[in-house]
Structure 1
Amino acid sequence: MEEFKIRTYTKKELALLYFPDSTPQAVGKHLKAWIQRNKPLMDELAITGYQSNSKSYNPRQVKIIIDYLGEP
């Protein structure tokens, strides 16, 4: 298995890593739901300037996500 790298990921790209068996159309909704249910995670992402309509996560946001959700 390849080592997970913290870098910029599109939302779909990161979601596919967390939900490899889901359809590409559904993965974004799954990850978004996980994130939105975790208030401390949402609060930390907000500090970084996270916008729910953005197309990607920057490396800082990816680090925060894996701190809360674990590596995909």
Structure 2
Amino acid sequence: MLAQIAYLRKMFAIEEAEHRAIARSLDRQLEEIVHRSFIDEYRVRLNETGDALRQISSQLLERVVRR
């Protein structure tokens, strides 16, 4: 990967300052993607947990009512 980056820097005459700016921009974008996917996964798991708890509560309530 580093060889490809070095090649592209040479081909497009990208200077060190430009390279750092590009790297920072890519880091921010990647961080947003990773953060967003973590939040989405957390929401899904939380919803699944809520559904499971509602189902357990419903089953317990049915047993109590039958007695």
Give TM-score scaled by structure 1 length: 0.25
Structure richer in strand, relative to its length: 1
Structure richer in helix, relative to its length: 2
Larger relative contact order (Cα-Cα within 8 Å, sequence gap ≥ 6): 1
The higher radius of gyration belongs to: 2
Give TM-score scaled by structure 2 length: 0.26
